[in-house]
A and B are shown apart, each in its own frame.
Chain A
Amino acid sequence: MRAFLPRTLALLCSQRPGRLELPLARMKVKILQWHAVASWTWDAQDETCGICRMAFDGCCPDCKFPGDDCPLIWGACNHAFHLHCILKWVNSQTSTPLCPMCRREWQFKG
């Protein structure tokens, strides 16, 4: 088959291996709907919560649904935890609560 290809086309191809400079196409593509897929992430430095050891993009043991229902919170020390986890931790401390990771005093990042 290849032997019978028009000479000119074969030439053209060998000369310009990339984009073929031909007249502008008359075909238009109209997008009617683009249904895309994405995943969300908290974009924390660590993968898992240092308190419950569950993934940040998952949820704490007390929650059923991740995301809005089980948010993350950052401390002034830049350590992140599930909100529910750190609240439990803070409430359980008798003295001044410390960050479970770095033992600095826990303060919510403003």
Chain B
Amino acid sequence: MQLDDSDGALDSWAGFCALTGDLVGGAGDLSVGPRLAPAVADLCARGLATLVRDYFLHNLEETFKNNAVKTFWQKFHPYNNSSAVERIKFCVQESWPEDVLSTALEDICLEKSYQEKCVLVLVHTLQSYEEKARNRKLQAAECSSSLMPRYQLMVSSVLLTTLPLSFPEILNVYFKKKLEELNTLMDGSGDNDQLASHEFSGGSNVSAWDSKMDIDSQETVISESGNLVKNIGKVVRDLRCLGFTSMTEDSYSSAIIWLLKSKVHELAGDDYRIPVLGCVKKWIQAVPLQFLHALLTYLGDSVDYESESSGLKSPLASRPSSFPGIGVPSEALLRWHMRLEYFAYETLQDLRIGKLFEIIVDYPESSPAIEDLKQCLEYTGQHSKLVDSFISSLRYRLLTAGASTNDILHQYVSTIKALRSIDPTGVFLEAVGEPIRDYLRGRKDTIKCIVTMLTDGSGGNTSGAGNAGDNLLEELNRDAENQENADYDDHTNMDEKQAWLNSESWEPDPVEADPLKGSRNRRKIDILGLMVSIIGSKDQLVNEYRVMLAEKLLSKSDFDIDSDIRTLELLKIHFGESSMQKCEIMLNDLIDSKRTNSNIKTSLLRTIETVTGQEEAEMSHDVLDATIISSNFWPPIQTEDLTVPASVDQMLSDFAKRFHQIKTPRKLLWKKNLGTVKLELQFEDRSMQFTVVPVHAAIIMRFQENPSWTSKTLATEIGIPVDSLNRRIGFWTSKGVLTESVGADVDDHIFTVVDSMSDVNKNSIVNESSEAFQMNEDEGESSISSVEEQLKKEMTVYEKFIIGMLTNFGNMTLDKIHNTLKMFCAEPSYDKSLQQLQGFLSGLVSDEKLEMRDGSYLLKK
């Protein structure tokens, strides 16, 4: 090795440089290549191989940067230099950015492939030198092998360092447009009916999918889409070749995801009555997966590369899955499938969760949407998202002063029913229901509304859904029966083996579960139980029911209680026979009354027939019916004195006498203010029928003797206070039967029968007769003290304690008041529940004695 032969080295270097310049700038002319060998060999022999390599690469870089790269980016200048608004104009052009992109890529790749050939020339030259050197056992730097990788690295670094900011955006637009095109192509083919028919079948059977293809039309679609994919594939390959591998993949991935998202939104929409999940899944297979398959195949990536899967087998791979038109999918495709499905589930889930409030309002019509949501959540496990989002929409939309208690309760029941299918363990329901229950506890009419909803077939159901005349209780009972039939766990004769198996299959509660609230194995969603938990205890519910039942029974004009008996039987199932004992006695009283009535009436009529001269009795005993109650078992009943007309009084005492004869030594005590009277007012020119309470009848009957009464005299006659009379008589003036005028005494009003209709609007007569047998609503003044009144009475003794406490402490929370009362109230001892106290306090708040601020009570100033 002649290291001091510097002239020779310079010659070789000059020759190498000149030849390199010719080769690299040679525009496709590789002929100079072979002449490179002697100079390169000489330089290498002098240990300058790395210098040769670096110079060569530098030369390539300069050429590439100044020519190909410059022209490449120049193609995109018009777009890059425009404003955001102007860019839209580009995007709407059909061929943009496809044309620009593909020609630009074509040009630069052409240039690059020429340069690669140049690189190969040098590689070969170096290789042959290195080979000779090895044969002569000479040491030489191995430069040939690193040349090509260095070149590739150079290409991508040049491109990336000169990359305009908007280039990824251009790529994105390109892929979006191409995928959209592909989507319309696929959608426009036979897939349409398949997607449509799938909407109704709801399943997701893959094998059924490819069986009924229309071959002819399908083939054109396949070839068209094949071309489309090939074009895309070419662009992708070129981009990869330039080192944009990950940018490209990001770009088409996000385009696919974008398309998937818009597809989910399009399919899902605001119609909750059709399932969409199956459709979405179908579409994923039909469009994006077909595309990816074609793309990966084109790029030669479809072969399984086990090394990359790093031992992680996707769960999908275990399926014997064969995609339509794809065959057994590659690992990469399976990963894509999972990724896309997950994204679809998540998108649909978010969409449905966002609208869950509306969906539940629509329930059960919206159950397909619920079913979709259930599947999505099973896949994504994001139940907590549902809980958080739904609670906030509840607070915002339902738990407001404007919503009626009935509406809240109905939405609550719908929520329970809807969520029960998503969440059979009730864990999330527990979380969602808590704010509703808390809110309802603060409302005074909650118990009443719940009882009405449970027991009243018509009144409670405002939404109109469900069977008419069917109360919630009956529905719940049907559900319970169905559950029982399908329930194997609950068999009473569950043997030890079964118990062991059950304990084996035990799974921990999801994290949202409150550990204090029981484990999922025991938890069964019990709507009634959830309703009772709002009220606080079943006793309160039963008590309220008893009051409502009493009110209903006492205002009946017949003894038809079939539906009440049915309701009672259902309540007995849920609350136990002993809790319902008093109610049962009440109903039994009506049954007994019916029997006693007919006994007494037949015997009375027989007597009258035999006694002559009685025929002119003003009233036949036939018109009298009596409900005879066992008052010890009824809620407290407010009795008021009332003097009924003598004819009626006679009838009542005849009846009572006969009762005493039949049931000796039992006696009847009339509650004359209670009951229902049907009567007809007969005038010369008209007659009107009314159903009224006895006091109304007593009032109007007095006007037979006299067409005019002053309120004081009439009150005395009837035996009720004047102010009460003035209130009650309003019924008849409002009906136009009586008129009111003022007498000499300001307090003493005069009431007179409106005898002739001549001066009254005739229309009102027509209205009157159609209104007949309608109880006046003002008469809703109940004769039964409501539970609330009873409680108020019982609680009043504590009022002074509460006021005293608040005077000392300023403000106190509900709990604190409750605990303090429990601790210090010995005489009388305090035995009320927190709910009862809350009800009482909210009464004091509405009486403006107290104020509630930030969860604390304080004295109203």
> Is the A/B pair a real complex?
yes
Cβ–Cβ contact B697 & A57, under 8 A: no
Chain A residues lying within 8 Å of B633, measured Cβ to Cβ, are 58, 66
Cβ–Cβ contact B667 & A41, under 8 A: yes
Considering the chains assembled together, what is the distance between the CA atoms of A51 and B220 in angstroms? 99
Cβ–Cβ contact B666 & A40, under 8 A: yes
Cβ–Cβ contact A30 & B631, under 8 A: no
Max count, chain B CB within 10 A of own CB: residue among A5, A25, A29, A39:
A39
Chain A residues lying within 8 Å of B585, measured Cβ to Cβ, are 64-66
Partner of B679 from A30, A38, A42 at Cβ < 8 Å:
A30
Max count, chain B CB within 10 A of own CB: residue among A24, A31, A37, A39:
A37
Cβ–Cβ contact A38 & B648, under 8 A: no
Say how far B703's CB is from chain A's closest CB, in angstroms: 6
Residues of chain B from 579 to 631 with CB closer than 8 A to chain A in the complex: 581, 584-585, 588, 592, 619, 623-631
Considering the chains assembled together, what is the distance between the CA atoms of A37 and B651 in angstroms? 13
Cβ–Cβ contact B631 & A39, under 8 A: yes
Cβ–Cβ contact A17 & B710, under 8 A: yes
Chain A residues lying within 8 Å of B674, measured Cβ to Cβ, are 36-37
Chain A residues lying within 8 Å of B5, measured Cβ to Cβ, are none
Cβ–Cβ contact A18 & B667, under 8 A: no
Residue ID in chain A nearest B588 by CB atoms = A65
Considering the chains assembled together, what is the distance between the CA atoms of A86 and B629 in angstroms? 25
Q: Say yes or no for A27: interface residue by CB 8 A criterion.
A: yes
Chain A residues lying within 8 Å of B667, measured Cβ to Cβ, are 40-43
Chain B residues lying within 8 Å of A33, measured Cβ to Cβ, are 557, 623, 625, 676-678
Cβ–Cβ contact B671 & A38, under 8 A: yes
Residues of chain A from 58 to 77 with CB closer than 8 A to chain B in the complex: 58, 64-68, 72
Given that A25-B706, A39-B628, A40-B628 are contacting pairs, would A31 and B679 also be in contact in the complex, using a CB cutoff of 8 Å? yes
Q: Say yes or no for A32: interface residue by CB 8 A criterion.
A: yes
Say how far B700's CB is from chain A's closest CB, in angstroms: 6
Say how far B106's CB is from chain A's closest CB, in angstroms: 97
Chain A residues lying within 8 Å of B694, measured Cβ to Cβ, are 34, 36
Q: Say yes or no for B672: interface residue by CB 8 A criterion.
A: yes
Cβ–Cβ contact B710 & A34, under 8 A: no
Cβ–Cβ contact B697 & A38, under 8 A: no
Given that A35-B627, A65-B585, A68-B592 are contacting pairs, would A27 and B666 also be in contact in the complex, using a CB cutoff of 8 Å? no
Chain B residues lying within 8 Å of A25, measured Cβ to Cβ, are 703-707, 753, 755
Cβ–Cβ contact A31 & B753, under 8 A: no
Max count, chain A CB within 10 A of own CB: residue among B665, B674, B697, B746:
B665
Q: Say yes or no for A103: interface residue by CB 8 A criterion.
A: no
Considering the chains assembled together, what is the distance between the CA atoms of A75 and B675 in angstroms? 37
Say how far B587's CB is from chain A's closest CB, in angstroms: 10
Cβ–Cβ contact B630 & A35, under 8 A: no
Given that A25-B755, A29-B700, A32-B679 are contacting pairs, would A38 and B669 also be in contact in the complex, using a CB cutoff of 8 Å? yes
Max count, chain B CB within 10 A of own CB: residue among A19, A22, A34, A58:
A34
Considering the chains assembled together, what is the distance between the CA atoms of A65 and B631 in angstroms? 12
Determine the main DSSP class of A at the interface with B.
mixed
Chain A residues lying within 8 Å of B683, measured Cβ to Cβ, are 26-27
Cβ–Cβ contact B742 & A26, under 8 A: no
Considering the chains assembled together, what is the distance between the CA atoms of A1 and B749 in angstroms? 14
Partner of A29 from B557, B624, B656, B680 at Cβ < 8 Å:
B680
Task: Count chain A residues whose beta carbon lies closer than 8 angstroms to a beta carbon of B.
Answer: 42
Cβ–Cβ contact A40 & B745, under 8 A: no
Residues of chain B from 550 to 604 with CB closer than 8 A to chain A in the complex: 554, 556-558, 581, 584-585, 588, 592
> How would residues 1 to 29 of chain A score, 1 for a CB under 8 Å from any chain B CB and 0 otherwise?
11001000110011001111011111111
Q: Say yes or no for B708: interface residue by CB 8 A criterion.
A: yes
Q: Say yes or no for B668: interface residue by CB 8 A criterion.
A: yes
Considering the chains assembled together, what is the distance between the CA atoms of A41 and B664 in angstroms? 10
Partner of A37 from B554, B689, B713 at Cβ < 8 Å:
B554
Say how far B100's CB is from chain A's closest CB, in angstroms: 93
Cβ–Cβ contact B682 & A5, under 8 A: no
Say how far A59's CB is from chain B's closest CB, in angstroms: 9
Residue ID in chain B nearest A39 by CB atoms = B631
Given that A31-B619, A58-B633 are contacting pairs, would A38 and B592 also be in contact in the complex, using a CB cutoff of 8 Å? no
Cβ–Cβ contact A66 & B632, under 8 A: yes
Cβ–Cβ contact A30 & B682, under 8 A: yes
Q: Say yes or no for A55: interface residue by CB 8 A criterion.
A: yes
Cβ–Cβ contact A37 & B704, under 8 A: no
Residue ID in chain B nearest A25 by CB atoms = B707
Cβ–Cβ contact B629 & A37, under 8 A: yes
Residues of chain B from 642 to 663 with CB closer than 8 A to chain A in the complex: 648, 651-652, 655-656, 659, 663
Cβ–Cβ contact A34 & B632, under 8 A: no
Determine the main DSSP class of B at the interface with A.
mixed
Given that A35-B677, A37-B675 are contacting pairs, would A27 and B703 also be in contact in the complex, using a CB cutoff of 8 Å? yes
Given that A17-B744, A66-B585 are contacting pairs, would A31 and B707 also be in contact in the complex, using a CB cutoff of 8 Å? no
Residue ID in chain B nearest A20 by CB atoms = B708
Cβ–Cβ contact A32 & B678, under 8 A: yes
Residue ID in chain B nearest A37 by CB atoms = B674
Chain B residues lying within 8 Å of A65, measured Cβ to Cβ, are 585, 588
Considering the chains assembled together, what is the distance between the CA atoms of A38 and B748 in angstroms? 33
Cβ–Cβ contact A36 & B670, under 8 A: yes
Partner of A19 from B581, B655, B680, B709 at Cβ < 8 Å:
B709
Chain B residues lying within 8 Å of A37, measured Cβ to Cβ, are 554, 626-627, 629, 670-671, 674-675
Residue ID in chain B nearest A21 by CB atoms = B706
Considering the chains assembled together, what is the distance between the CA atoms of A17 and B558 in angstroms? 42
Cβ–Cβ contact A27 & B625, under 8 A: no
Residues of chain B from 253 to 284 with CB closer than 8 A to chain A in the complex: none
Partner of B630 from A17, A32, A66 at Cβ < 8 Å:
A66
Partner of A36 from B625, B708, B755 at Cβ < 8 Å:
B625
Chain A residues lying within 8 Å of B381, measured Cβ to Cβ, are none
Cβ–Cβ contact A27 & B704, under 8 A: yes
Chain A residues lying within 8 Å of B206, measured Cβ to Cβ, are none
Cβ–Cβ contact A22 & B707, under 8 A: yes
Cβ–Cβ contact A10 & B630, under 8 A: no
Considering the chains assembled together, what is the distance between the CA atoms of A29 and B626 in angstroms? 21
Cβ–Cβ contact B681 & A27, under 8 A: yes
Q: Say yes or no for B299: interface residue by CB 8 A criterion.
A: no
Cβ–Cβ contact B627 & A18, under 8 A: no
Cβ–Cβ contact A32 & B668, under 8 A: no
Q: Say yes or no for B94: interface residue by CB 8 A criterion.
A: no
Say how far A58's CB is from chain B's closest CB, in angstroms: 5
Chain A residues lying within 8 Å of B623, measured Cβ to Cβ, are 31-34
Cβ–Cβ contact B592 & A67, under 8 A: yes
Max count, chain A CB within 10 A of own CB: residue among B655, B677, B701, B709:
B677
Q: Say yes or no for B529: interface residue by CB 8 A criterion.
A: no
Chain A residues lying within 8 Å of B709, measured Cβ to Cβ, are 19-20
Considering the chains assembled together, what is the distance between the CA atoms of A40 and B630 in angstroms? 6
Considering the chains assembled together, what is the distance between the CA atoms of A32 and B677 in angstroms? 8
Considering the chains assembled together, what is the distance between the CA atoms of A43 and B666 in angstroms? 6
Q: Say yes or no for B750: interface residue by CB 8 A criterion.
A: yes
Chain A residues lying within 8 Å of B677, measured Cβ to Cβ, are 31, 33-35
Considering the chains assembled together, what is the distance between the CA atoms of A32 and B705 in angstroms? 19
Q: Say yes or no for B496: interface residue by CB 8 A criterion.
A: no
Q: Say yes or no for B743: interface residue by CB 8 A criterion.
A: yes
Considering the chains assembled together, what is the distance between the CA atoms of A27 and B353 in angstroms? 67
Considering the chains assembled together, what is the distance between the CA atoms of A65 and B703 in angstroms? 43
Chain B residues lying within 8 Å of A30, measured Cβ to Cβ, are 679-682
> How would residues 504 to 530 of chain B score, 1 for a CB under 8 Å from any chain A CB and 0 otherwise?
000000000000000000000000000
B residues sitting closer than 8 Å to A (CB atoms) are: 554, 556-558, 581, 584-585, 588, 592, 619, 623-634, 648, 651-652, 655-656, 659, 663, 665-672, 674-684, 689, 694, 697, 700-701, 703-710, 712-713, 741-746, 748, 750, 753, 755
20 contacts between A and B (CB under 8 A): A13-B745, A17-B710, A17-B743, A20-B706, A25-B753, A29-B681, A32-B678, A33-B623, A34-B675, A35-B626, A35-B676, A37-B674, A38-B669, A39-B630, A39-B671, A40-B659, A43-B666, A43-B667, A57-B632, A67-B666
Pairs A-B, 6 closest by C-beta atoms: A25-B707, A37-B674, A39-B631, A14-B744, A13-B743, A32-B678
Apart from the given pairs A32-B689, A40-B629, 12 other A-B contacts in the complex at a CB distance below 8 Å: A13-B743, A17-B743, A20-B750, A25-B706, A26-B683, A27-B682, A29-B681, A34-B623, A39-B628, A40-B667, A58-B633, A66-B633
